[in-house]
Amino acid sequence: MTTMAERTHTTGGAAEPASGTQTLSLGKAINEGLRAAMRRDDKVMLMGEDIGPLGGVFRVTDGLQAEFGEQRVVDTPLAESGIVGTAIGLAMRGYRPVCEIQFDGFVFPAFNQITTQLSKIHNRTRGAVQMPVVIRIPYGGGIGGVEHHGESPEALFAHTAGLRVVSPSTPQDAYTMIQEAIASPDPVLFFEPKSRYWGKGAVDLDTPLGTDTLNAAQVVRQGTDVTLVAYGPSVVTALKTADALAEEGRSAEVIDLRAISPIDTAAVVASVRKTGRCVVIHEAPVFFGAGAEIAARVTEECFYALEAPVLRVGGFHTPYPVAKHEHEYLPSVDRVLDAVDRAFAH
Amino acid sequence: MTTTNGSNEAIPTLQLLDPQGNRVTTRGTKGYRDRAATLTTEDLRGMYRDMVLTRRFDDEATSLQRQGELALFAPARGQEAAQVGSAYALRPQDYVFPSYREHGVLHVRGLDPVDRLRFFRGSDHGGWNPTEHNTAVYTIVIGAHTLHAAGYAMGVQRDDTPLDKRDGTAVITYFGDGATSQGDVNEAMVYAAVNNAPVVFFLQNNQWAISEPTTRQTKGPLYKRGEAFGMPSLRVDGNDVLAVYAATQEALERARLGEGPSFIEAFTYRMGAHTTSDDPTRYRTSEQEEQWRRRDPIDRLGALLRAEGGLDDDFEAEIKAAGDELGAKLRTGVRALDGGPAVSSTFDDVYATPHGVVAAERAWYEAYDAGDPPAPQYAIADSAQGGAR
């Protein structure tokens, strides 16, 4: 019988670390990012439902239990509060747990542990105890899911001090940001745009750690007439809208926020001072959503630069709709164009 | 032996010391008696002293609250045997996850008594560095910390375990009868059990969750909860320090040997109010309180010690002097906490790494506090652009 210690450090059958630039789907990029983080630091471990032999319902942890063993890739009981609560204890013992919540709507059983414990223990202990815990949440709609499989609850966490809330939009950022999230001494809510899991892009597997991707927004398209602010799954929508606007002779600048806690206000303000118009896009309901925060900050910091009020495009103040109707709920290119038209009408 | 829980059902309960302070030698308890027998007279005197000082801490803190020096206090009166007895079974490397009423446990762990009141003074959300005493700070959301204990124990399992696991680390978590209804406590037992994690679930059934009696939490005996999750479970007389010590030592040893989690129900009584804001006369009878006063855990150990020659007037006087010293230290120390960090420390340690929102709000607050609030951002922008727009 192998001892616990032996099993802990077993990485038998590990292939050479991947390197170079490869074309990967966003889901596979996260997989590679997890693998790189686990090879770098044997305190990194994964916890979640069905993440072992199955590789997760989206296969994001595919092959990781085979490489790192059952002590580091843990199929947990079906209890989300337990996943996060035990991850907190593991972090207190020096581990860096990465929790997978199977779907967005299933994070709520863990809401208490995340908001009253995980977010506050560093503060409660006056910095003596850090909480390097990552909570991965596939979120957003567009895949025809049943209830609780298409929601975007990120604002609920951004409203809680002590948590970082991020969402990548590209395979490259997904690869980089998951590793930065794991390296962070702060708890990170890592929202994965599930409708974009299969979208492919170039990933430089040799990207070094130390990027500012958990804090800094990125201008992903330069423009002069209107600023489109998005994150996660809505960045693709913003870019498609910018293409459509270009055909109309309007130049849109697109900002990928990457993070909504913190929020890179300076990047947005710098852009809006240039364009004078701002439309924020996210799948979450606009009511009390991230867009409201951005609108308030833009209004406060560049009021005299604005040609029009900041407008928001997003979900409605309704339960996430049935799959047959979700495409009318989600921010589409058409709805973003409508908002841009209204901005120009001022 | 058996006691009853108010119903007619007899519930097996480990007791090694009866309420009059006589050692009990019931069939089937030899293993526990042997463990208790390892306690020397000096150990028992130490336990007695710590139980009396725990009660003194309660009395002093309650007085400080009445004087307006504490915002709140949650007394442990009546639970001294459950707390001191279990804490005596711990080793320094063991990790403790307490609720907010474990004054006896924290006392035995060596935490500074003034630090233990920072929370109740309203000057700290915690009060001590958990890593210095292997003791987590209070968790106020009932039962949430039991999951942290299970996870910590899972971490211990993953460490490079010393060859002799007897010197390894065990984990204990304290919670109450109300907490047993929480989902987190049940999930903690699931996680601990399926992982065979080295953790002891130590329930102090003090009969009351603020105003709700145990009958509002459970239909059957609570110790059976542990059994149902597949772990050894035992109910002990929580006012019998010997039984508590023996049962806890057994459970911790099981954890260290890799035999997994255990569940202990210490059947005791919250003799005081839930907190200084509570009024027990609204929901329980003085007859019940009187009945439990006759089972006082301190009197019980005192009677044993007197009978066995371990307690005399000199030792009582010595403990009284130590209590007076503790009281003086608390009265001075608690008032001195007001010289603590500035209000702007609210912005400290929210994150371990810089966070733009907190940094900006801190900068604003500090300027405001200095009487020099910065100009609104939009005015700066307007000026920079010459008011062009």
pLDDT digits (tens, 9 = 90+) for A281-326: 999 999 999 999 999 999 999 999 999 999 999 999 999 999 999 9
Distance CA A97, CA A105 (A): 21
Contact call for B147 and A113, based on CB within 8 A: yes
Contact A284, A290 (CB under 8 A): yes
- Enumerate residues 115 to 134 of chain B having a beta carbon within 8 A of any beta carbon in chain A: 124-126, 129-131
Whether chain B has a CB inside 8 Å of the CB on A339: the answer is no
Whether chain B has a CB inside 8 Å of the CB on A141: the answer is no
Contact A98, A34 (CB under 8 A): yes
- Enumerate residues 364 to 383 of chain B having a beta carbon within 8 A of any beta carbon in chain A: 376-378, 381-382
* Residue with the two structure tokens 């697109």: A254
In chain B, what residues touch A71 (CB-CB under 8 Å)?
157-158
Whether chain B has a CB inside 8 Å of the CB on A115: the answer is no
**Is residue A9 flagged as an active site residue?**
no
In chain B, what residues touch A119 (CB-CB under 8 Å)?
none
Contact call for B147 and A85, based on CB within 8 A: yes
Contact call for A93 and B125, based on CB within 8 A: no
pLDDT digits (tens, 9 = 90+) for B95-105: 999 999 999 99
- Enumerate residues 159 to 198 of chain A having a beta carbon within 8 A of any beta carbon in chain B: 161-162, 164, 184-186
Whether chain A has a CB inside 8 Å of the CB on B172: the answer is no
3-state class of B379 per DSSP? Answer: helix
Distance CA B85, CA B75 (A): 17
All domains of chain B in start order, with CATH: 2-339 (3.40.50.970), 343-384 (no CATH)
How many residues in chain B? Answer: 389
Angle at A139 between CA A138 and CA A143, to 5 degrees: 95
Contact B247, B264 (CB under 8 A): yes
Contact A254, A221 (CB under 8 A): yes
Contact call for A85 and B378, based on CB within 8 A: no
For chain B, what is the HEC assignment?
Answer: CEEECCCCCEEECECCECCCCCECCCCCCHHHHHHHHCCCHHHHHHHHHHHHHHHHHHHHHHHHHHCCCCCCCCCCCCCHHHHHHHHHCCCCCCEEECCCCCHHHHHHHCCCCCHHHHHHHCCCCCCCCHHHHCECCCCCCCCHHHHHHHHHHHHHHHCCCCCCHHHCCCEEEEEECHHHHCHHHHHHHHHHHHHCCCEEEEEEECCEECCEEHHHCCCCCCHHHHHHCCCCEEEEECCCHHHHHHHHHHHHHHHHCCCCCEEEEEECCCCCCCCCCCCHHHCCCHHHHHHHHCCCHHHHHHHHHHHCCCCCHHHHHHHHHHHHHHHHHHHHHHHHHHHCCCHHHHHCCCCCCCCHHHHHHHHHHHHHHCCCCCCCHHHHHHHHCCCCC
The residue among A172, A173, A130 whose CA lies nearest residue A43 is A130
- How many CB pairs lie under 8 A apart between chains A and B? 181
**For residue B372, what pLDDT is reported?**
80
In chain B, what residues touch A117 (CB-CB under 8 Å)?
139, 141, 144-145, 148
Q: Beta partners for B266?
A: B204, B236
**For residue A247, what pLDDT is reported?**
97
* Residue with the two structure tokens 């006589």: B22
Q: Which of A7, A119, A123 is the best substitution to test chain B (most B C-beta atoms within 10 A)?
A: A123
Contact call for A124 and B131, based on CB within 8 A: no
**For residue B342, what pLDDT is reported?**
84
| Integer angstrom CA distances of residue B292 from A239, B265, B285, B286, B296 | 72, 17, 11, 10, 7
pLDDT in tens, chain B (389 residues): 344 444 445 899 999 999 999 999 999 999 999 999 999 999 999 999 999 999 999 999 999 999 999 999 999 999 999 999 999 999 999 999 999 999 999 999 999 999 999 999 999 999 999 999 999 999 999 999 999 999 999 999 999 665 455 568 999 999 999 999 999 999 999 999 999 999 999 999 999 999 999 999 999 999 999 999 999 999 999 999 999 999 999 999 999 999 999 999 999 999 999 999 999 999 999 999 999 999 999 999 999 999 999 999 999 999 999 999 999 999 999 999 987 778 889 999 999 999 999 999 999 999 998 888 766 544 443 434 433 33
Task: Enter the DSSP assignment of A150.
Answer: S
Contact call for A303 and B381, based on CB within 8 A: yes
Q: Which of B145, B148, B346 is the best substitution to test chain A (most A C-beta atoms within 10 A)?
A: B148
Picking from A13-22, A148-157, A186-195, which range would have the lowest pLDDT averaged per residue? A13-22
Whether chain B has a CB inside 8 Å of the CB on A93: the answer is yes
ipTM above 0.90, yes or no: yes
Cβ partners under 8 Å of residue B40, min gap 6 = none
Q: Which two tokens stand for residue A44?
A: 């990194």
A18 pLDDT band, cuts 50/70/90, is confident
Q: Which amino acid is at B232?
A: P
The residue among B110, B97, B89, B105 whose CA lies nearest residue B243 is B89
Q: Which two tokens stand for residue B75?
A: 């007394």
Distance CA B3, CA B15 (A): 10
3-state class of A100 per DSSP? Answer: strand
Distance CA B328, CA B313 (A): 22
All domains of chain A in start order, with CATH: 22-204 (3.40.50.970), 218-344 (3.40.50.920)
Distance CA A23, CA A201 (A): 5
Q: Count the neighbouring beta carbons within 10 Å of the beta carbon of residue B92.
A: 9
**Among partner residues A85, A116, A122, which is closest to B188 by beta-carbon distance?**
A85
Measured in angstroms, the CA of A223 and the nearest CA of chain B are apart by 20
